[in-house]
């Protein structure tokens, strides 16, 4: 859920998501007031990339 929210608000960087989990209330709520490291976020994204791709539709120009 955290990664999905981050994408929806235009925050695709693992390091920025990590920082947001310290500073931004919505991210703190979604993370259960825990602060996952950027490497954990990146590993999760890499491990579940195929499933995450199905969540988004990209319009072709």
Which tens digit of pLDDT belongs to each residue from 5-40? 999 999 989 999 999 999 999 999 999 999 999 999
For residue range 48-57, list pLDDT tens digits in order.
888 888 777 6
CA–CA separation, 36 vs 57, rounded Å?
27
Distance between CA atoms of residues 25 and 33, nearest Å: 9
Is this prediction's pTM over 0.85? Answer: no
User: What residue segments make up the domains of the chain, in order of their start?
Assistant: 2-53
Strands (E), the chain: none
């Amino acid at each position: 859920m955290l990664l999905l929210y981050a994408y929806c608000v235009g925050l695709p960087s693992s390091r920025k998501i990590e920082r947001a989990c310290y500073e931004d209330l919505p991210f703190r709520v979604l993370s259960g007031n825990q602060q996952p490291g950027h490497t954990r976020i990146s590993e999760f994204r890499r491990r579940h990339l195929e499933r995450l791709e199905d969540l988004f539709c990209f319009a072709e120009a």
